[in-house]
Amino acid sequence: MTDTLIQNLLNGALTGCIYALIALGLSLIFGVMNVVNFAHGDLVMVSMYLTFWIGLGTGIDAAITPLLTFPLLFLIGLLVYYAIIDRTLRQRYVTQIAVTVGLMTFLRALAQLIWKAQPRALPYSLIQGSIQIGSYTILASRLVSAAVSVLVIFGISLFLSRTWAGRAIRAASDDLDAASLHGVDFRQTYALAFGLGSALTAIAGGLLMTFQQVDPTMGVRFGLLSWCVLAMAGLGSIPGLLISGVIVGAAEAMGMSLWDPRARSLVIYLLFILVLWLRPRGLFGRK
């Protein structure tokens, strides 16, 4: 009993690193331009399908496809920003939500149209095998995915603190007027943040496809899941995101093994509501 529980917790914690990566993209978008993107989870779903498509068509492994899908999703992000989001910046937040909910429906319907409703998975992955630690088995694909996620999160945090563009994003997030006075072009910065935030879902999508299947409705789960991670972490703390991701992943796994496999989303949503009620600024947030 405890063995399976620990086993599940390990798996959940590793998946949680990918959740943190997805939430990092959302945090870039929400933290910088205060745009509520309901379609973020569906971008993960689209990334997973693109990975599936590329894997099926060319045989490129899911672990490597992010090299192709990352720029693709970046472009999609830019397109979405300039075509839709940019026009709603001066509108009330409900209009923004209406637009991104429209986008969410659009992406889901498109996925259903192209790939039909049944779940799809890739037959194999480059990363094979598993590692034994005592009596616990860890799938190599999960371990590598978690490691890559942590590395990418670390890389993004370096990008945000060391490069001019990254600093512009942080500056715009802290104080847009002051940033503008220092020569930050806010539209370019917003577009960059939106593109980058969307592109991160490409990496997450590729990693998820190494051990998971995809179906058109899973965007909702990833969407609310990443909002849950973000709510728990609060804005502006990258280590906080990682810790929250791991907590959410572990809680999900625990709910599944202790309660009911169908309860996985229930646990996440209850956690989300509790965090909102008790710690509206998140556990690690600074604003």
Partner 1 sequence: MRSGNSLPRSLLIALLVLAALLPLVARSNQYALVLFTTVLLYGVLATAWNIIGGLAGQLDLAAGAYLGLGAFTVGTLLIRWNISPWLGMILGGLIAVGFALLIGYPLFRFGIREVWYALSSSALVEVLRVAFLIWNQVGGPMERYLPYHEWSLYHLRFATYMPFYYIMLGMLVLALVVNHRVRHSRLGYYLMALGENEDAAEVLGVNTQACKLQALALYAFLVGTAGGVYACMYGFIHPNFFSGPLSTEVAILGIVGGMGITYGPVMAAILLVSTREFLRANLGGQLESFYLVVYSVVLILIALFRPQGIATFVRGAYDRLLSRMVKE
Residues in touch with partner 1 (CB under 8 A) = 30, 36, 38, 84, 87-88, 91-95, 97-99, 101-103, 105-106, 108-110, 112-113, 116-117, 220, 224, 227, 231, 260, 262-263, 265-266, 269-270, 272-273, 276-278, 280
Indicate the residue among 122 and 248 with the shorter CB distance to partner 1: 248
Least spacing, CB of residue 218 vs partner 1, in Å: 13
Closer to partner 1 by CB, 6 or 110: give it. 110
Residue 21 or 26: the one with the smaller Cβ distance to partner 1 is 26
We find the least distance from the C-beta atom of residue 236 to partner 1, in angstroms, to be 16
Min dist. Cβ of residue 182 to partner 1 (A): 28
Shorter beta-carbon distance to partner 1: residue 84 or 243: 84
Q: Smallest gap, in angstroms, from Cβ of residue 18 to partner 1?
A: 20
Least distance in angstroms from the C-beta of 149 to partner 1: 23
Nearest distance, CB of residue 234 and partner 1, angstroms = 12
* Residue 169 and residue 32 in contact, taking contact as beta carbons nearer than 8 Å: yes
Pick the closer one to partner 1 by CB: 105 or 188. 105
The answer to whether the CB of 284 falls within 8 A of the CB of 233 is yes
Closest to partner 1 by CB, 81 vs 211, is: 81
